[in-house]
Copies of this chain bind each other. A is one copy, B any other.
Amino acid sequence: MSATNPGSRPGLSREVVAERAVALGDAEGIEAVTVRRLARDFGVTSMALYWHFRTKDDLLAGIGDHILDAVEVPDPSGDWAADLRATMIALVTALRPHPQLAPLVTVRLAEHPHGLALTERGLGVLVEAGFDPETATYLALHGLRVALATVAPPEGDKRGSLSAEEMDAGVRHKTAALGALPPQQYPTLVAHAPVIANTLCRDEDTTMLIDVFVAGVQAMSARLR
């Protein structure tokens, strides 16, 4: 009931801290999300946070949960392929504002109510499509991972903490690097160096990648008959 009494004690709580952690991670990247840094921002000792979170992993779980809170679980339509797609889009929509933090939701998919709802829906439509439970589980798990991969920057990527000029410099550098490759060995890379470099550094078209997955599952399903 008393979340942030103005002018009084910090009034920490799981949600308040998680929200701030998300803001910090969005702004400065996941490696900036540190117990000590967070405490400093709240004007509080590091150990104050340990009253609300058992461990740092627990704090990261809080971040994942906070992101999953925003998921809007779609209603079933009767068309299983459309429902599969809608499920993935629902996840991606919630993750999109937090590309740097998206990986943190993976572990929470089997815990958070919305994560469970998406998993249930994904599994349900796949069983409906004719897959046995084991294969359906593989596909559902992978489908959620594909959704994640479409919003998260590649592993080890530093962008997000990069300015527009730095990104442009990155694109030019990459273009030059690709263009300098031996053309007989790497004809495609050399021929399309500029567009490839730009594509590698910019956002991806997530919708198409989800459509590829759904189309693949449809093809597999058709082979079952």
Q: Is the CB of B106 within 8 A of A208?
A: no
A154 to B150 alpha-carbon distance, docked (Å): 15
Interface residue A120 (Cβ < 8 Å from any Cβ of B): yes
Residues of chain B contacted by A174 (CB below 8 angstroms): 110
Q: Which residue of B lies closest to A156 (CB)?
A: B107
Q: Is the CB of B116 within 8 A of A186?
A: yes
Q: How many residues of A contact B (CB 8 A)?
A: 59
Q: For chain A, what secondary structure do more than half of its interface residues adopt (helix, strand, loop), or is it mixed?
A: helix
Interface residue A12 (Cβ < 8 Å from any Cβ of B): no
Min CB distance, A216 to chain B, in Å? 3
Interface residue A93 (Cβ < 8 Å from any Cβ of B): no
A191 to B205 alpha-carbon distance, docked (Å): 36
Q: Is the CB of B155 within 8 A of A116?
A: no
Min CB distance, A199 to chain B, in Å? 4
Interface-forming stretch among A32-40, A43-51, A127-135, A161-169?
A127-135
30 contacts between A and B (CB under 8 A): A106-B156, A107-B154, A110-B174, A117-B186, A119-B189, A120-B185, A123-B196, A127-B188, A127-B192, A133-B192, A133-B195, A133-B196, A134-B195, A137-B192, A137-B199, A138-B208, A139-B209, A139-B212, A141-B199, A142-B209, A142-B212, A145-B154, A148-B155, A149-B149, A208-B220, A212-B216, A213-B216, A216-B216, A216-B217, A218-B219
